[in-house]
Amino acid sequence: MATKKKAKTAKSRAKSSAAAKKVVKLKAKKPAAKVAPGNGMPRPSSKPWGQAGRALQGVKILDFTHVQSGPTCTQLLAYMGADVIKVERPGIGDITRGQLRDVKGADSLYFTMLNGSKRSITIDSKHPKGKEILDRLVKECDVLVENFAPGALDRMGLTFEHIHKLNPRMIVASVKGFGPGPYEDCKVYENVAQCAGGSASTTGFRDGPPLVTGAQIGDSGTGLHLALGIVSALYQRVRTGRGQKVLCAMQDGVLNLARVKLRDQQRLAHGPLTEYSQYGEGVPFGKATPRAGNDSGGGQPGWILKCKGWEDDPDAYIYFITQAPVWTAICDLIGKPDWKTDPDYATPPARLPRLKQIFATIEQWTMTRTKFEVMEICNKHDIPVGPILSMKEIAEEPSLRATGTVVEVDHPTRGKYLTVGNPIKLSDSPADVRRSPLLGEHTDEILRKVLGYSEKEVAEIKVSGAITAPDKPAKAEAA
């Protein structure tokens, strides 16, 4: 055995030396390209975590966004460390500054919560001098982000061709309501997108009208999609050296988030959707994915159940999931140990036609406890449940403050307010959450320090009307 092994080893040594010779030969023919260790990347930083700069440090964003969808995107990029320069119309600014105002004379929370960590410059994009300043910004920045109505950017003269000529490296990222097709020229707001993206038709109760959700999946959801597109384009630019267009249609973004409902649409062709409670109730399915009330969208049935205090507190509810692996624990908790072995209840398929009655029984138990007590008890048994948290409870939740998901910032005209910090946590890039800028607060600073205008030139710009509202003196621009 040992000799055999030796012979084998000698043979393989000979083989590998022949292979080595071959490599040498190959090398002699054509010297291999020198590949730096780490695939061309710098050596791993030895700086402490979180002190090696921010993820998007050095990236300059020309932020032409307004209302919600675009600003959500650029706020996320700012949290990641990008320098976001928000261009606003002199004297007016982003229309949301004045919408849903709660404090007289101060920017609304609508605006402040979507425009943190950015700088604001006022420029009239239709003024000749304004156009000149914008061209300089295009040359200086890496990404232009906009969510104007279709055609508005072109009408300003900022066509992709013009931008690309000035700065071939620039990424031009847009949110529009619809992609190319019959509706591409339409203006779109949040709820229009929820309706057109398949969310509204599948949300709500079967016997009620379509419903829009409170979560802004059309606006903030599309902003999130756009941010991913931008970061991907920045990454590709490292290889190609050139920018590109990034387009996110709100209809597409909503559909992406509602994809399980398109899944169900296709499943319908093969029979009823057994996890929908209408199946158990004997209600026939129509041709399209129906509204499913509070049914869970996945394979584990769930429903919203009342908890102690529900009579007075509209949020005293809990979402309860009858996850199959913990079914026996659920039976014990709710005082139905016989359901563990009863053939009508013991298996998931047996339970499907009885979900309404099962949840009504579980509710008898949850109504004897507060939602937090139910949560605590169920967690001990690994039963997935979720208390219905009010915004008041979320605003006051210490753990969300501790993680920086809810952040208090101070604002010169409105005082302290809460904002949502970066929901994406990077271990080496702590979020940079700062208050929103006043209208035109950084105009001067950007003209001088980013664009390099001289003292004299800035003075000329100030009287030109390109950065101030027509009827207001230059000084009022930062008011």
**Contact between 251 and 186 (Cβ < 8 Å):** no
The whole-angstrom separation of Cα 140 and Cα 170 is: 9
Closest separation between CB of residue 252 and ligand COA, Å?
A: 12
Q: Does the annotation mark 219 as catalytic?
A: yes
Instruction: List the Cα angle 138/119/446 in 5-degree steps.
Output: 55
Q: Is 183 in the site for ligand COA (CB under 6 A)?
A: no
Which of 109, 188, 330, 400 is the binder for ligand COA (CB under 6 A)? Answer: 188
Q: Which is nearer to ligand COA, 274 or 464 (CB)?
A: 464
9's tokens: 């080893």
Closest separation between CB of residue 413 and ligand COA, Å?
A: 22
Stretch that binds ligand COA, among 4-12, 34-42, 67-75, 226-234 (CB under 6 A): 67-75
Closest separation between CB of residue 343 and ligand COA, Å?
A: 53
The candidate with the shortest Cα–Cα distance to 138, out of 178, 168, 106, 101, is 168
Q: Which is nearer to ligand COA, 149 or 479 (CB)?
A: 149
Closest separation between CB of residue 149 and ligand COA, Å?
A: 3
18's tokens: 């022949």
Between 250-257 and 220-240, two packed helices, what is the crossing angle to 10 degrees? 100
Closest separation between CB of residue 282 and ligand COA, Å?
A: 42
The whole-angstrom separation of Cα 397 and Cα 404 is: 11
Going by the DSSP 8-state scheme, the letter that residue 479 receives in this structure is -
The whole-angstrom separation of Cα 321 and Cα 299 is: 10
Q: Which is nearer to ligand COA, 90 or 280 (CB)?
A: 90
Which of 68, 201, 323, 436 is the binder for ligand COA (CB under 6 A)? Answer: 68
Alpha helices (H) along 57-196:
69-79, 109-112, 128-140, 152-155, 160-166, 190-196
Going by the DSSP 8-state scheme, the letter that residue 474 receives in this structure is G
**Contact between 242 and 160 (Cβ < 8 Å):** no
Q: Which is nearer to ligand COA, 54 or 225 (CB)?
A: 225
Q: Which is nearer to ligand COA, 88 or 275 (CB)?
A: 88
Q: Which is nearer to ligand COA, 179 or 299 (CB)?
A: 179
Among candidate residues 94, 142, 219, 252, the one labeled active-site is: 219
The whole-angstrom separation of Cα 37 and Cα 275 is: 52
Binding positions for ligand COA, 366-425, rule CB under 6 A? none
Binding positions for ligand COA, 70-89, rule CB under 6 A? 70, 87-89
Closest separation between CB of residue 349 and ligand COA, Å?
A: 44
Closest separation between CB of residue 299 and ligand COA, Å?
A: 34
The candidate with the shortest Cα–Cα distance to 468, out of 132, 122, 125, is 122
Letters for 124-153 (x = contact with ligand COA by CB under 6 A, - = none) are xxx--------------------xxx--x-
Q: Is 172 in the site for ligand COA (CB under 6 A)?
A: no
Q: Which is nearer to ligand COA, 68 or 194 (CB)?
A: 68
Going by the DSSP 8-state scheme, the letter that residue 246 receives in this structure is E
Stretch that binds ligand COA, among 8-16, 63-71, 305-313, 467-475 (CB under 6 A): 63-71
Between 69-79 and 220-240, two packed helices, what is the crossing angle to 10 degrees? 50
What CA–CA distances, in Å, run from 153 to 64, 88, 164, 265? 9, 14, 14, 38
Q: Is 189 in the site for ligand COA (CB under 6 A)?
A: yes
Closest separation between CB of residue 412 and ligand COA, Å?
A: 23
**Contact between 144 and 132 (Cβ < 8 Å):** no
Q: Which is nearer to ligand COA, 176 or 462 (CB)?
A: 176
Q: Counting beta carbons within 10 angstroms of the beta carbon of residue 162, is it exposed (0 to 12), middle (13 to 18) or buried (19 or more)?
A: middle
58's tokens: 């050095």
Contacts with ligand COA by CB under 6 A lie at 67-70, 87-89, 123-126, 147-149, 152, 155-156, 175-177, 187-189, 219
Q: So which residues are the catalytic ones?
A: 219
